[in-house]
Structures are given as C-alpha cells and as structure tokens.
Amino acid sequence: MKKVFIDGSAGTTGLKIFERFQNRADLELLTIPEADRKNLDARIAKVCEADISFLCLPDAASREICEQLPQTVRLLDTSTAHRTLPDWVYGLPELSKERRAAVAAANRVAVPGCHATGFITLAAPLVSMGIAAPDYPFTAHSVTGYSGGGKSMIAAYEADDRPNTYDSPRQYALGQKHKHLPEMQEIAGLAYPPVFNPIVADYFSGMVVTVPLHTRLLQKPMTPEDVTKAFADYYGGQRFIHVMPYGQLPEDGTMDANSLAGTNDLEIYIVGTAEQIVLISRFDNLGKGASGAAVQCMNLMLGLPEDTGL
C-alpha cells in the first residue's frame, strides 16, 4: 500500500483530491494535525514519509517547501510555480508517448492549469503535426465555472449579498498577464503567447475553451474534416481525451460548459468551413483541469492504470 500526503488539503483542489481517495483501498492517506498545517518542518516530515505527495499550495509556499526537499521525493505540484521549469515534467501525458513515459518516471510533476489544459490540447497538436506554424497568431477564449477561482471566489459567488454583476459572465485578466500564459506558450510550442480571454460565469464547475483558426494562415490546406481526422489520429487510444466526430454538436446547436462536471474526460469538437475552423475543448476545471489530472498523473507515477479511482 502506497502512502500519499496532500499538503494543502483544505484548498479547493486539495479537497477534491482528498475526496477521490476515500474509496482507494490501495492507498494510505497521511494526514497532519490542524495545528501543524503551516508548520514547514512538520509538512516536510510528512512529505518525506510518503511515497508520493501533492502540493496544493500558493506558488510561494510551493517553492518554499520544494527548496527544502531532496530530489528523491516524488511530488505533484498543482500550483503554477514549476510548470515551465526544465527539471519538472508537465503533467499532460496525452501529448506524446514520450511525455507519458516521462510522467511515469518522474519525481517532479507539474499539474497543468485548467485554462492551459483546454488550450494546449487544441494548439499543441496543430504545431506538432505541422498544421500551424509556431508563430501562428493564436487566440483563445475560455469560459469557466466560479470554482476555478478557489475558495475565495466560491465564497464570493455563493454569498447572499453578492453584487448583481456576478449574475452575468465576467471577463478578467484583460491585460494579457494571466498566469497560465507561460505554460500555454511553452508546452504548445508557440513562438508567442496567444491572445487569451478568460471568462468566469455563474455556475460551479466545468469549462469550454475555444480556439478559432483562419485556414489561409495554416501551413497546410486543411478542412474541418481534415483537422478532425488529424486530431483523432493524434489522440487515438487515449482514455480521457475524446475527439468527437466531425460536425457533432448538441441537438440544439449550442455548447454548454458544464456537461462534463465531475469527470476526468475532455471532449474535442471541430466545426467550421473551408475558410474558418473552430476548435473546442470541454471538460471539468476541477477534473481534467485540476484534481482529476493530478490523480491520473499519480497513477502513472505509481505504475497503476491511469484511470484508477477516476
């Protein structure tokens, strides 16, 4: 039985990981007294006792504890602190066989951000397969439930006295400084960061990320059907990423953001015309966008089927 510790189990992602472990008879979940939650020495001792640990902490706190830990300790970090560092493996195993193997063998795995997951699963194959050049002018917009903002945003949205402005979708990070942009650029293999428009809306969890393409700017002449086939080949055999048949949309022609809430699945839809193509990824910001992805990577690191407990 493997010992697992969650440093930061009181946060939104930590709580979700904790919930996913309640029926895992193959794991022993180590805990720490409430009084020691901010005691660095006590936390380090637990991490060193565990076979594998999750860091569900703010960036600064994650960096602080990592500086004190030996390289032999196996970690999964859900913060943005280490996602673009060369000595950490980015935890999106579906991107390639090599990345999957690297995740399984790693001692340090950085769990992707939710917005980044949706964008990278769409943009990275385009660049990798030579459909779009690294300097293609990518844009993306991403709609997420308010749980994506953590405990403080959840409390704000669920407060009785919340402002009326919370009733409608709200754009944020308008200055193009969103914290996921560095990983979106690096992991997708882009020469420049995308123009990114995140939006938070009045529902708990689930998200939709949309990437539009102008076919005249692509390196290869491609129709939506061509792109669908290319993506189906790229993600063929994946357990959690599903490329939907070309043109498949809900019966009413709309795309809701929360149909996959509570799952670790990610659906990719590709629609459009010979001139303009729209790529859409739909998933749960708390699932494949956070805790589910973390557990999936842990399973691979422990040599287990990746969907164990998911």
Calculate the CA 55 to chain-centre distance: 15
Closest CA to 208 of 143, 290, 277: 143
- Residue 141: beta bridge partners? 197, 210
Task: State yes or no: is 114 an active-site residue.
Answer: yes
Alpha helices by DSSP H, the chain: 12-20, 40-49, 59-67, 97-105, 114-128, 150-158, 181-188, 224-234, 292-301
Cα–Cα distance measured from residue 95 to residue 189, given in angstroms and rounded to the nearest whole number: 12
- Catalytic pick among 48, 56, 66, 114: 114
CA distance 43 to 5: 9
Q: What is the CA radius of gyration of the chain?
A: 19
Q: What does DSSP assign to residue 176?
A: S
Residues 6+ apart with CB under 8 A from 298: 4, 52, 54, 76
- Give 220-239 as a 3 state SS string: CCCCHHHHHHHHHHHCCCCC
State the catalytic residues. Answer: 114
